[in-house]
Amino acid sequence: MARHFIVEAVSESLDDTKHRILLDDQVPHRKKFTSTDPKGYGYEVQVAVRMIGQDTGKDVLFNFGQQIRQLNKAILAASRPPTSDELRRLKDFMEKDPA
């Protein structure tokens, strides 16, 4: 359940125009960014991606913001609803001061 909340917080903070990587060769490309949820918890994210397969000579624009949002939807679809005890613990955690 915690994984879903972290991925959801990160996915909600992403902007499709900023969270892209241009792949122009088969060398791995990395991008780091920090995401903060409304409560003030911060997450440092590192995305690593590379082109695989035959080089066609064309560049690929990889929209990792969209990929993370799709990951969030997949986690939600595969998860069971939280129990009342899990919801209570989550509420207690979210009410804590992040500092």
Residue 1 reports pLDDT greater than 70: no
Output the pLDDT for position 99: 58
Output the pLDDT for position 32: 92
Instruction: Please give the share of the chain, as a percent, with pLDDT higher than 70.
Output: 94
Domain boundaries defined on the chain: 2-95
pLDDT digits (tens, 9 = 90+) for 39-68: 788 889 999 999 998 888 899 999 988 888
Cβ contact 14:31 at 8 Å: no
Q: Which SS3 state, helix, strand or coil, does residue 34 take?
A: strand
CA–CA separation, 89 vs 71, rounded Å?
A: 24
26 CB-near residues (< 8 Å, 6+ apart): 50, 51, 52, 55
CA–CA separation, 93 vs 9, rounded Å?
A: 15
